[in-house]
Each structure stands twice: as structure tokens, then as C-alpha cells.
Structure 1
Amino acid sequence: MVVALIVSVSACGFRLRGTQQLPESINQVYIASQFAHMPMQRALEQRLSVYQLQNVTQTQAQQDPRTVTIYLQPEELERRLLSVFATGQVAEYELIFSIPYTVQFADQEAIASRIEVLREYQDDPDEVLAKSRELDLVLTEMRNEAADRMIRLLSSQYQSQITFN
């Protein structure tokens, strides 16, 4: 019974979310940004190895036409007020981290996209130093999540390029 269920589910093409494999033609990525050593660029470079992708230099990218190029735009962080204390001080924010980017596959048109990551952040005016460090950790986590999403989206963006061309 269990074997029949597993066979029928896998036969229809079902995959767990996040397990979509990148095409074999995508194995080298060049990351370009307006600002050198931008935090999002560093996060993306660190996450590439998890997906067995090689981070290449601009020179290497120009030599190999199969290299995928990701152009990062400046990241944005917006705070939306969620609640206040009785004293009128802010108690809770919604942090909205967004990163616009463009993906360029070999001999294809560039695809512009944007990723947003949301988090709720509780502020405590009595613990300013601790909350400052916590905010840095939350931002790092949000950048890592955005980098993971960006890499996972490469597969569907690649498929859409093939379909439309």
C-alpha cells in the first residue's frame, strides 16, 4: 500500500518544495553589484556552494559563455509600524528586506526580478545595545533567505527563458 502511494506520487512529478534541481548547464555564477563587497553579495557567494555552484570572477565569466550572471541592485530595508507601547514608543516593527536583481543567462534576455523577505521585530527601548545586535542578526538571516530564494529561482527563470525563446 505504501509502496503504491509513493510510486503514484513520484510518477505524477511531485517533488518536495525546495528540492527542484538546477539544470546541469547552470554550474557557474558571476555576481555583479554596484558596490564592492555589498552584504547581499557576500551572502549570495556563501550560499552558492550549498547548491554546488561555482562563484567565478568577471574574467572567468567572460571566457565561459555558459556562466549565469546575477546583477544585484542596492538592497532596501523598510520598517512598518505594527504596535506601540502605552507611552507612545514603538513596540514592534515589520521589517521588509527587498533586493532587486537581474539574471542573465547565456545568449538570453535579462530577467529583472525582486525578492522580499518579511520579519516581525520587537523593539525594547531599555535594551538598545542588545536590540541593535539582534537587528544585525535578523538582517543577516534575511539576506541568507533572500540568497537561497534567488538561487532556487534560477531553475524556473531558466525554464521560462527556454519556453519563450
Structure 2
Amino acid sequence: MRNGLLQWIAVLLATTLIVGCGFQLRDQYQLPPSLQQVYLQAPKFSEFANVFEQRLSLAGVELVDADPGLVIAINRDELSRRTLSLSGSGQVAEYELIYSVDYSINEANKDPVDLRIEVYRDYQDDPNFALAKTRERELLVAEMREEAARRMLRQILAQLAE
């Protein structure tokens, strides 16, 4: 009986400490009233728009088909690369991948705010393993889209809080 009581007190104390220190699960946001309902405007077939829609839904934002007063417009998302190093034979050995998203926040009765997100990753290329490296690059780009969507949501929250 006493052992069970001590365990219960320990769990209660640990829970109180975690809650008291401000710990929150990742991607748990307190949404401002203007972000409760959003119209998302994006290019057709945009993979980033799909990722961002999922991120908004996970955050508790309701996506609507009509303009509720807040429109987030994804104007462009683009993947580019820059050469970082060459091999001894002159072939590219390493790239820097740059994923950028240009978007705007349009609130009713306010000027639109244009913003940009960029995510960088290094990628080592090896022509001897072309198939494996192609799959690795696809996974890296998907991870970059996820990171850009997280950053974009945080940036929108900060912008609307001002």
C-alpha cells in the first residue's frame, strides 16, 4: 500500500514539474483568433501545399473554401542547388540544396505581408550509386519541405501576434 502511494506521489510530482516548466509537445501552438480559419491559395499540384495543409490541420487550423478574412498565398516553392565541391576527376562531389518558399499573408483591412523561407542541406553525390543517391535526395527534399512548413507556420504565428 505504501509503495503504491509513493509511486503515485512520484508520478504526480513529475507531472507537476513538467507542466510547471512550460513543457509542451512539439508543434502545439496557441492559435490567435485570426488563424482559426484560413483560406490557403496555392499552385495546383504543389507538393509543398499538401505538406503545409497537413501542418495547419495538425495545429488545429480549419481550412475553408471561401475567404474568411485571412488568406495565406503560396506564391512559389522552388528547389535549387549550388556546387560545393568537385572530385579529383572534375565531377561534382557535393551540392548544397536550397528549398525556398515565397508566400504572403493577406489579412482583411491590412496590407499584404510578403515573406520567404529558405531551408539548406548538403548533399554528397556519387555517380557510382546513382539509384541510391536519387532515393536519398528525394527523402532529403521531403524533409526540407517538412522543415519549411514548420518554419512557415511559426513565422505566420509570429507575424499575426504583432
| Pair in the same fold by TM > 0.5 | yes
Secondary structure at the aligned position of 2:33 is classed as coil
Shift in Å, 1:18: 6.9
> Residue in 1 aligned with 2:71?
69
Match for residue 31 of structure 1 among 40, 47, 54 = 40
> Residue in 1 aligned with 2:129?
127
Secondary structure at the aligned position of 2:81 is classed as strand
Shift in Å, 1:53: 0.9
Q: Which aligned pairs between 1:52-63 and structure 2 lie closer than 5 A? A: 52-57=60-65, 60-61=66-67
Shift in Å, 1:26: 1.4
> Residue in 2 aligned with 1:163?
none
> Residue in 1 aligned with 2:11?
none
Match for residue 106 of structure 2 among 104, 107, 116 = 104
Change in Cα spacing, 1:44 to 1:138, as seen in structure 2 (3 Å) is: same
State the structure with more CA Rg: 2
Q: Which aligned pairs between 1:44-59 and structure 2 lie closer than 5 A? A: 44-57=52-65
Equivalenced residue count is: 146
Calculate the TM-score normalised by the size of structure 1. Answer: 0.76
Matched, 1:138 2:146: no
Preserved CA contact (<8 Å) 2:29 2:59: no
Preserved CA contact (<8 Å) 1:18 1:152: no
Question: Which amino acid counterpart does residue 38 of structure 1 have in structure 2?
Answer: S
Secondary structure at the aligned position of 1:87 is classed as coil
Calculate the TM-score normalised by the size of structure 2. Answer: 0.78
Shift in Å, 1:38: 0.8
In 1: Cα distance, 2:27 partner to 2:59 partner? 11
Q: Any unmatched runs of 5+ in structure 2?
A: 1-15
CA RMSD, Structure 1 to Structure 2 (Å): 2.5
Question: Which amino acid counterpart does residue 71 of structure 2 have in structure 1?
Answer: T
Matched, 1:43 2:51: yes
Q: Any unmatched runs of 5+ in structure 1?
A: 161-165
Q: Which runs of 4+ in 1 moved over 6 A?
A: none
> Residue in 1 aligned with 2:7?
none
Alignment identity in percent? Answer: 41
